[in-house]
Amino acid sequence: MKQTALSVSVEDLKVPYNQLVTIAIPSAFALLFHLAVQYREPYSHHFLIGLASTLTALTVVLHDEWKITHSAAFSVALSMFGVFTVTIFTSMAIYRVFFHPLRNIPGLLSCKLSMWSWPITDWFGTRQYKIQDMHKNLGDVVRIGPREVSCSDPSALTAIYGPTGAGAKTVRGPWYGAQSMIPHVHSLQNEPTLPEHNRRRRDWDPAFSTKALSGYHENIYRNADMLLDQIEKLSKKGPFDLKESLLCFGFDMMGELGFARSFGTLKDGKTSHVVHLVELGVRAINTIGNVPYLAHIMRFLPSPIQAFESWLEAAVKWRMSKQGEREFVDADIFAFLLGEEGKQRRKLDKRELQQDCMLVVVAGSDTTSNALAFCLYELARQPRLVEMIREELEVHFPNGAKPENFDVLRDDAPLLNACLHEVLRLWPPVPSGLQRTTTTEMTLPNGNSSVVVPPNTVVSTHTWTMHRDPRNFHKPNNFLPERWINEPKSKREVHNAKAWSPFGFGTTSCIGKNLAYMEMRLVLAQFIMRFDFTMEPADAQDFRDSIRDQFVSAAGQMICSVSPRHQW
Ligand code: HEM
């Protein structure tokens, strides 16, 4: 009877017994090795698949020497590879679901088995909803990856990001490694260990000191004026995408303050290809951040990531060639990072500067402009609230004149500031968790009990869930700025300010918080005083539906009707 390729017996093939043993022994060892190390070495299966491929290739290459036919060698190789990989994946699946130290923590089966469901979720930007649903249905501590847990109890902020205990010993999670693009080259945000991060952060701090921030006033005023003038111009043609104008403001600000170079988008009246490149690059990097080894492969293939990297390289080269030339600002952030200003404790290499360049552009632009867009989206639907803010601000804008010193907006405009706190609660620009990897056992609060996770577990708190949890804020899905001003009237009006963490927590929290507030206050106050604005319900719904979680939030068009107020 004619044998089919895959049903040949060893005897038929005449594969020498010794050669089979040569293949079988390392395979058996490989599997045992995998079973033994898969928790401590979560990527061991990649090494083993590589080994299987090598053995398979060897079988094919050596078929002459082993005196078996080419097709028989191919069949053996294929069967062996199949058996090998199926065994590894079965062993992985069984281990992850039934024997893993996190096996008792509830989670979706797809998450327990692998990280591969996340790239799809992240490409479509629905991570915040998926994790929120898991917390709603399964509890405060849920398993969102084979070795990853998310916590929605606010006291976990101290446990995970706090300066003492197990939190102080954590390192950045695997997502940050993928952001680095170049292995072992990090931005401040991706620096894996806390001591090294803290050393670097000391070089950044002077760029965000009170003195430095007052040096940025002129830039913020000028760019805010350009933004408002551009809005006035666009408003004459009918409803337009207000979010795009706010994005231009965010990018131009960070270009000037970051490395003394404006992106010039406010002048041109539209976002440039660089802005789109950054957005696409960030979306791609975030998507594959779940599977960090993919990021390092993608770097070598033509992709938005590669194009983004080339742009960063050119931007840093340009800035280094302009040492001492200060067109826009006395001392930009890069002046401190390059050691032109202040005392530099650690000289950064060119590739680290590129990573920091990405951090400045991404962390400082999208976050602030999105927060402003979300705030105006909420206010467009609450004209009474807008009137109340105007009443509050009238004193600072007598007869439409601008205040001489915008610090009054910080010190004497509680409702304006409450709107910003509230929008950062309801629509946090960084909605999901900030991964940390434990290096020692960590106890995570879980309602009235707690959960202990072992070293090498990836942990995070889920900002979106905590901000919209009725146990932390009453009517959590409503935009109610008054909650930040008035004392709760009854026990039912829960207000747990400790759950509010849009800027992260601890020593790695946002360095740009004060700068962001300065920009947002200035733009919001002037916009409200200068314009009336509305959104059609359908446009408002479209905007809301377009909001995506791409580590930093992203959103589609925000079509608004804006008209200058005659009093202004
Ligand atoms: C509303 C606006 C903003 C929000 C909500 C926000 C949020 C955050 C969050 C959540 C983190 C922690 C990230 C982590 O642990 O991985 C962070 C870090 C950071 N942010 Fe912001 N950010 C904002 C504006 C800005 C601005 C204007 C800048 C100016 C450049 C900035 C620069 C940074 C930097 C450099 C870090 C890294 C800090 C470190 O690792 O030590 N951010 N931000």
Per-residue DSSP letter, 180: T
Nearest ligand 1 atom, CA 516: 27
Q: How far is the CA of 357 from the centre of ligand 1 (A)?
A: 13
- Closest ligand 1 atom to 204 CA: 35
Q: Which of 19-23, 369-373, 419-423 has the lowest mean pLDDT?
A: 19-23
The mean per-residue pLDDT over the stretch 162-191 comes to 86
Query: Can you tell me which atom of ligand 1 is nearest the CA of 424?
Result: 5
286-329 pLDDT, tens per residue? 777 777 777 767 767 777 677 777 888 888 888 888 776 666 67
Residue 169: pLDDT band with limits 50, 70, 90: very high
- The pLDDT of 136-151, averaged and rounded, is 97
Domain count, the chain: 2
Q: Is residue 430 a contact partner of residue 463, using CB atoms and an 8 Å limit?
A: yes
As given in the structure block, the two tokens for residue 304 are: 């938005």
Better-scored residue on pLDDT, 339 or 524:
524
Write down the number of H helices and E strands in the chain. 24, 12
Taking the model in full, what pTM does it have? 0.88
Which atom of ligand 1 sits closest to the CA of residue 161? 15
Last residue of a domain, one of 45, 74, 99: 99
Residues 205, 83 share a domain: no
pLDDT at res. 25: 63
Distance 509 CA to ligand 1 centre (A): 7
CB 347 within 8 A of CB 339: yes
Q: Which of 435, 510, 520 to mutate to test the pocket of ligand 1 (most atoms within 8 A of CB)?
A: 510
In a domain, 132, yes or no: no
- Please compute the mean of the pLDDT values over residues 244-266 and round it to a whole number: 87
Whether 526 and 221 have beta carbons less than 8 Å apart is answered as no
Would you say residue 155 lies in a domain? no
Q: Pick out the residues of the known binding site.
A: 510
CATH code of residue 290: 1.10.630.10
Q: Give 439-488 pLDDT, tens digit per residue.
A: 999 999 998 899 999 999 999 999 999 999 999 999 999 999 999 999 88
Query: From ligand 1's centre to the CA of 67, what distance in Å?
Result: 64
- End-to-end CA distance of the chain, in Å? 95
In angstroms, what is the span from residue 350 Cα to ligand 1's centroid? 22
Q: Is 128 contained in some domain? A: no
Reference 471, options 486, 449, 493, 455; nearest CA is: 493
What is the model's pLDDT at position 147? 93
Q: How far is CA 547 from the centre of its chain?
A: 14
388 assigned to some structural domain: yes
pLDDT score, position 33? 66
pLDDT on residue 49: 66
Please tell me the distance from the alpha carbon of residue 566 to that of residue 568, in angstroms, as a whole number.
5
Closest alpha carbon to 161 in 429, 504, 455, 498:
504
Average per-residue pLDDT for the chain: 86
Q: Give the annotated binding-site residues for heme.
A: 510
Q: How much is the pLDDT for 232? A: 95
Q: Which of 59-73, 197-211, 370-384 has the lowest mean pLDDT?
A: 59-73
Query: For residue 405, what pLDDT is reported?
Result: 81
Same domain, 533 and 397: yes
Spacing, Cα 2 to ligand 1 middle (Å) = 68
b vs e for 520-558, b when ≥16 Cβ sit within 10 Å of the residue's Cβ?
bbbbbbbbbbbbebebeeebbebbeeebbbbbbbbbeeb
pLDDT at 3 over 70: no
What number of CA atoms fall less than 13 Å from residue 249's CA on the CB side?
A: 30
Is residue 299 one of the residues assigned to a domain? Answer: yes
- Nearest residue by C-alpha to atom 42 in ligand 1: 512
For β-strands 458-461 and 148-151, DSSP reports them as parallel
The per-residue pLDDT for range 17-63, each reduced to its tens digit, is 555 665 666 666 666 666 666 655 566 666 666 666 676 666 666 66
Distance 557 CA to ligand 1 centre (A): 24
Q: Confirm whether 322 is domain-assigned.
A: yes
516 Cα–ligand 1 center, Å: 9
Write down which residue in 99, 132, 163 finishes a domain: 99
Pick the residue whose CA is nearest to atom 31 on ligand 1: 512
Pocket of ligand 1 (CB under 6 A): 188-189, 201, 359-360, 363-364, 367-368, 371, 429-430, 434, 502-504, 508-512, 515-516
The ipTM assigned to this model is 0.99
Share of the chain above pLDDT 70, in %: 83
Please state, for a pLDDT cut of 90, what percent of the chain lies above it: 51
Residue nearest to atom 32 of ligand 1 (CA): 512
CB 50 within 8 A of CB 68: no
Task: Give the domain range for residue 29.
Answer: 8-99
- CA 85/CA 352 separation, integer angstroms: 38
User: 143: closest CA among 104, 94, 91, 89?
Assistant: 104
The answer to the question of residue 307 being in a domain is yes
Quickly state the pLDDT bin for 5 (edges 50, 70, 90): very low
Specify whether 335 is located in the same domain as 188: yes
Show which of 52, 83, 99 is a domain's final residue: 99
